[in-house]
């Protein structure tokens, strides 16, 4: 009897298990047919569409390159025609110089011929008076004119740097594969677009102890270097603890500080015209400027070069110079019309390089932000944004850029930060974090802004991106 009951229970279990499995199979079939398979079909169709559009998309790229090439050819033709015009103008001056001297020689020759005729008349004459009154002209004409040698101009073709041409011509963004969950970039880290916060937020305030605070630079996300109007350069962590302090070799305050890609501190010293680097606790001179120039502000570029603003000792000229190590590579001083790009004085001119390799200089005295491309050609100037609540003239101090190619500039007298896009268009102010006299600026690896307050000597960390 018990055995029959056991068999009955087994039969019920198998029946229920069979029914459950049938339900599961039905659900799987519905899921595969109604959801999973259609989704795969959509993905398949999307990839097929991308393949179908592949040739057209790449053709657009090559067409754009061809148009860029045509524009370059036009610009080269313009340069050549301009040089030919200059040569023709020089040729006209050359001809005028030679004609002038030729006319002078002909005039002298004419006088010589007249003198010879007069002498022959006197020679044949029997008049006593004309012979006695004769005055020799030989000494006068013996003073021969100098030989005129006008050197023709020369054209010195510069060597073609194919690698630099490749960089100047344009940039091909790296190939990337996107999914809903992540973005894989083969050649560079993810730099997705981040929007500005509706209201920037003050994250923390670091008290530095300076009487006047001028510059700040990020060593990493947790540590910063600062400098003011003393010979101390101080390193703090984000929790406001002083970690290290070094003194300048000249025992005078540094004009500016920055950090290179190896985390080494650099500072410029206006008293002896040098840029110095601190390696393993030892300070070494990296660059010595010519005697007639003094360093102003510093910036390390994305390629490891060093940009230095400087002013002439007589305070009449200013310029920006690019160095590779201690070798001067580029000077930015004049626009295409030969006019100075920057005001001539010893006032601070903070400098930074944007992500698109534009060079940005904040010219405080002139009240203008001057931006040139990597070749030193003027792109645009920014003289402030009209505002009913900003009563003081725009006087830019510190300047920095972020990974979104925003340009951020300290406006000390209006106690705010201007945020511009890479083309100089005003986006917004940062004016809600109780800033007082903002001067030096930098951004950390997460694009948080660090602001020096000149008189309060605080560094404020501000989050302004979403």
Interior angle at CA 24, CA 18 and CA 26, nearest 5:
105
The pLDDT value given to residue 174: 65
Instruction: Specify the DSSP class assigned to residue 390.
Output: -
Contact 420, 405 (CB under 8 A): no
Give dist(CA 382, CA 85) in Å, integer: 34
Q: Largest Cα–Cα distance in the chain?
A: 183
Give residue 184's pLDDT: 32
H or E stretch at 21? helix 2-31
The residue extents of the domains of the chain are 1-144, 196-465
- Cβ proximity of 260 and 323 under 8 Å: no
Q: Work out the angle between the directed axes of helices 37-124 and 162-169 (0-180°, nearest 10).
A: 120
Architecture per CATH, domain 196-465, reads as: 6 Propeller (2.120)
DSSP output for 35-79: IIHHHHHHHHHHHHHHHHHHHHHHHHHHHHHHHHHHHHHHHHHHH
Evaluate whether 457 touches 213 at the Cβ level (below 8 Å).
Answer: yes
Q: Identify the residue whose tokens are 């990974």.
A: 403
Nearest to 463 by CA among 208, 450, 407: 450
CA 172 to chain CA centroid, nearest Å: 19
Give the pTM: 0.60
Give the torsion sign (CA, 92, 94, 95, 96): positive
Instruction: Compute the half-sphere exposure of residue 167: CA atoms within 13 Å on the CB side of its CA.
Output: 10
DSSP code for 326: T
Res 34: pLDDT: 78
Dist CA 37 CA 437 (whole Å): 63
pLDDT of residue 33: 80
**Three-state SS annotation for 279-302:** ECCEEEEEEECCCCEEEEEEEECC
| Mean pLDDT of successive 10-residue stretches along the chain, which has 466 residues | 54 70 80 79 82 85 87 88 89 87 86 85 79 79 80 84 78 60 37 84 95 93 93 93 92 94 93 92 93 95 94 95 93 94 95 95 96 94 88 93 95 95 94 95 94 96 95
Strand partners for 300: 306
- In 3D space, the residue among 304, 243, 247 whose CA is nearest the CA of residue 278 turns out to be 247
CB atoms within 10 A of CB 447: 16
Give the whole-angstrom CA distance, residue 24 versus residue 20: 6
Q: Is the dihedral angle over the CA atoms 12, 14, 19, 20 positive or is it negative?
A: positive
Half-sphere exposure of 309 (CA within 13 A, CB side): 31
Q: What is the pLDDT, as a whole number, of residue 133? A: 78
Task: Please count the other Cβ atoms lying within 10 Å of the Cβ belonging to residue 265.
Answer: 22
What is the Cα–Cα distance from 424 to 461, expressed in whole angstroms? 24
Tell me how far apart the alpha carbons of residues 99 and 87 are, in angstroms, rounded to a whole number.
18
């Amino acid at each position: 009897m018990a055995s029959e009951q056991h068999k009955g229970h087994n039969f019920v279990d198998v029946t229920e298990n069979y029914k459950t499995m049938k339900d599961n199979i039905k659900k799987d079939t519905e899921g595969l047919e109604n959801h999973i398979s259609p989704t795969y079909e959509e993905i398949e169709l999307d990839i097929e569409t991308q393949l179908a559009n592949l040739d057209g998309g790449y053709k657009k790229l090559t067409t754009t390159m061809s148009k860029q090439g045509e524009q370059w050819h036009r610009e080269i033709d313009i340069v050549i025609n301009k040089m030919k015009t200059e040569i023709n103008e020089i040729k006209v001056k050359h001809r005028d110089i030679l004609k002038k001297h030729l006319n002078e020689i002909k005039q002298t020759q004419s006088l010589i011929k007249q003198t010879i005729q007069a002498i022959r008349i006197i020679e044949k004459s029997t008049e006593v008076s004309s012979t006695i009154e004769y005055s020799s002209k030989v000494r006068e004409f013996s003073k021969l004119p100098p030989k005129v040698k006008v050197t023709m101009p020369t054209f010195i073709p510069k060597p073609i740097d194919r690698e630099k041409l490749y960089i100047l011509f344009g940039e091909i963004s790296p190939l990337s594969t996107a999914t809903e969950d992540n973005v894989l970039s083969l050649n560079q880290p993810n730099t997705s677009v981040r929007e500005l916060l509706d209201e920037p937020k003050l994250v923390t305030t670091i008290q530095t102890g300076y009487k006047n605070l001028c510059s700040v630079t990020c060593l990493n996300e947790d540590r910063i270097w600062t400098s003011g109007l003393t010979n101390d350069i101080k390193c703090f962590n984000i929790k406001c603890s002083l970690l290290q302090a070094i003194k300048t070799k000249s025992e005078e305050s540094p004009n500016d500080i920055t950090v290179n890609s190896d985390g080494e501190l650099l500072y410029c010293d206006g008293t002896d015209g040098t840029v110095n680097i601190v390696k393993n606790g030892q300070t070494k001179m990296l660059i010595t400027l010519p005697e007639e120039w003094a360093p102003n502000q510093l910036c390390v570029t994305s390629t490891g070069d060093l940009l230095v603003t400087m002013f002439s000792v007589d305070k009449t000229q200013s310029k920006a110079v690019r160095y590779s190590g201690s070798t001067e590579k580029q000077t930015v001083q004049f626009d295409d019309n030969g006019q100075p790009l920057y005001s001539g004085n010893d006032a601070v001119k903070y400098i930074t390089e944007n992500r698109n390799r534009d060079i940005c200089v904040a010219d405080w005295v002139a009240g203008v932000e001057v931006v040139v491309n990597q070749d030193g050609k003027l792109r645009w100037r920014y003289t402030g944004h009209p505002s009913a609540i900003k009563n003081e003239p725009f006087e830019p101090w510190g300047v920095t850029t972020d990974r979104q190619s925003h340009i951020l500039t300290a406006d000390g007298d209006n106690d705010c930060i201007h945020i511009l896009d890479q083309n100089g268009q005003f986006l917004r102010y940062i004016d809600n974090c109780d800033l007082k006299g903002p001067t030096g600026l930098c951004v950390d690896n997460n694009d948080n802004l660090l602001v020096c307050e000149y008189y309060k000597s605080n560094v404020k960390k501000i989050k302004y991106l979403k």
